[in-house]
Amino acid sequence: MSELILSCHLGINHQREHDPPSEPFVFQRVTQPGYPTPAATLSYRIDKVTEIYEGDYTTVYRASLLGQQSGGPRNIVLKTDVNARYPRSSKFTQEALRYEKDLQHMQGTYIPDCYGLFQATIYNKLISVLLLEDCGESIDFRDESLLYSDKIQIFKLFTELHVSGFAHHDVDGRNIVKNQDGKFILVDLEDSRPHKCEVRLYVLIGDFAPPESDFGCRELYNVAFELDFWLPENVNFYGHQVPVGAFKDGEAKNLVALLPSYMLRTEEDREVALRCAEKMIKDVQEIQAVYIDVPDEERYLRPSDIPKSRSGSKPQAPA
């Protein structure tokens, strides 16, 4: 059975204040039905870690994986529940199963390579350590430096996950990392669950958002919104929430007509509202203008290629 030797501090020695240090700690690789069997018995070692995230239930470190079978030091991310408030071995087991079995075909392309789940009982507590490829830094959906091509690549991460029969269930920029080659990778699969995707519309970038019920898949719908592929559903116009669809005809007077009557008591009220409507229409048109030079075939994303998705409502793809 493969093992992992930890010769570094993960907070383990602080589990019991009066116990002397007992490093190194030896973790055994988890094998169970459904897991691929390692080709050989391997012995890995980690001597130093750098913390990059600490939450109530998970701590994440960067580290170098050593050992004669590792082909030299290998940059990895170490995810552990050593400082968790409650035991989380089942979550780690589930996430490892996603990497090593259910989504193994996505490793190294859409999700990180996984080097195994290791566990040890220390001070009567079962501690889990999941070793993954270090694929870079997390992104921020609001980062203005994200290119159009970056957003397309990020959306593809989720569509490929859905094609494989799973949904992520934690759409957040911290769960998407970018490596030095500019490639994006999807991480943190502990909340992922089997998913039959019912998406039935193309995503037309820069267009008005369809109703979520028409689109058919909540997660892909949310990803498209996070990436600003669509105009927002509503905007604050003159202190009143107005559907963006009302801007389609470009008529300011029609937009003003949506306001409640108490806001339009005088002629001056109507004139001010009309000017505000004209400005809002101009702002929406400027947003849409960003995509004018993008060929139509590049504006259409085709999540409807997912098997068994319905296509009755999808727009015709450009010729």
pLDDT in tens, 9-28: 676 644 444 454 456 889 99
What integer best gives the mean pLDDT of the chain?
A: 82
Q: Which is more confident, 86 or 219? A: 219
- Flag the least confident range among 209-213, 275-279, 308-312: 308-312
Please say if the pLDDT value at position 106 is more than 70: yes
| Alpha helices in the chain, H assignment, sequence order | 89-97, 148-163, 212-215, 218-226, 252-256, 267-289, 296-299
Question: DSSP string covering 173-185, please?
Answer: GGGEEE-TTS-EE
Please say if the pLDDT value at position 100 is more than 70: yes
Q: Is 300 in contact with 155 (CB distance < 8 Å)?
A: no
Of 139, 123, 135, residue with least CA distance to 172: 139
Residue 316: band (very low, low, confident or very high) from pLDDT cuts 50, 70, 90: very low
Alpha-carbon 260 to chain mean position: 40
Residue 149: band (very low, low, confident or very high) from pLDDT cuts 50, 70, 90: confident
In the chain, the percentage of residues whose pLDDT exceeds 90 is 43
CA atoms 214, 219, 220, 223: torsion sign: positive
Question: In a 3-state reduction of DSSP, which class is residue 125?
Answer: strand
Residue 191: band (very low, low, confident or very high) from pLDDT cuts 50, 70, 90: very high
Q: Which is more confident, 221 or 9? A: 221
Cα separation, 22 vs 61, whole angstroms: 21
Question: In a 3-state reduction of DSSP, which class is residue 3?
Answer: strand
Question: Tell me, what's the pLDDT at 317?
Answer: 36
Q: Is 77 in contact with 60 (CB distance < 8 Å)?
A: yes
